[in-house]
Amino acid sequence: MNFTKQIMFGLFALAASIFTASAQGNFDYFAAPKTIVISPPQILTQSAATTLQTTNVANISRFLGVAVMDIYSISNSAGAAVLPTNTFTLYSSITGTNNWIQMTNVAFATSTTIITTNYVGTTNSAVIYTTNTFMVPGTISNAVVALNGFSGQWTQPAPFTSSATGNSGPTANWTIGFDSDNAGNYIQLVWSTSGSNAVYNTAAIMRGRTKQGLY
């Protein structure tokens, strides 16, 4: 009888541990990527010499693998004779207080426009044309059946060999990826604006998977 109770207790403990692990996984929404606001929407003004604007330091020590960052910059000077510029540079540091190093293991996504045609209605009487602009992590190649033996498309990945910097005129957006495992524990985005009486609106967010779903 005691032996039976021990078996039942062991099975109960095992079931409880499995349920706990399952619940933790479910609460992580199937390991959905986490998002950090790297540079909240802000206005940068420039009236003389080039100045640097730094963002808050972000701790990325709990991230795993490739992280993705979307960066935006738009100016009020689209029609100016001499356009201002705004340059972003992404730095990483082990300590978060000094020894900031520009990241060089970055891949840039390519802005790619895909146009589709969809027919609607029971007799295909209406046509809907859509234009989607994708930030592709590489280059899209379309297969040719006669040459490749199959149809469809594939993506040639972008190399993770670029420096984490970009320069914009009136407006620009970038999507970059980097290996968070090989970066420092902390990152910081630096904006550098130039031009007379330039006003820039900027923002940046980062997303990626984390260790055990932790924030």
Over the stretch 159-192, which tens digit does the pLDDT of each residue have? 999 999 988 777 788 999 999 999 999 999 998 8
> Are the CB atoms for 106 and 146 separated by under 8 Å?
no
Q: How far is CA 202 from CA 10, 26, 134, in A?
A: 57, 35, 20
| Count of C-beta atoms within a 10 Å radius of residue 185 | 17
Least Cα distance to 58 among 45, 73, 42, 40 occurs for: 40
DSSP string covering 88-109, please?
EEEEEESSSSS--EE---EEE-
**What are the extents of the domains in the chain?**
1-30, 32-109+158-213
> Are the CB atoms for 176 and 108 separated by under 8 Å?
yes
List 133's β-bridge partners, or say none. Answer: 113
Measured CA to CA, the distance from residue 178 to residue 8 in angstroms comes to: 49
Q: Which CATH superfamily is domain 32-109+158-213 in?
A: icosahedral virus (2.60.120.660)
Measured CA to CA, the distance from residue 168 to residue 87 in angstroms comes to: 6
Residue appearing with tokens 């960052």: 69
Q: What radius of gyration, in Å, describes the C-alpha atoms of the chain?
A: 24
CA 194-196-197 angle, 5° bins: 105
Structure tokens of 112? Answer: 């790619």
Measured CA to CA, the distance from residue 15 to residue 105 in angstroms comes to: 44
pTM of this prediction? 0.77
pLDDT averaged over 10-residue windows placed end to end, the chain, 215 residues: 49 45 46 86 73 83 94 75 76 92 93 88 79 91 81 86 85 91 93 78 92 81
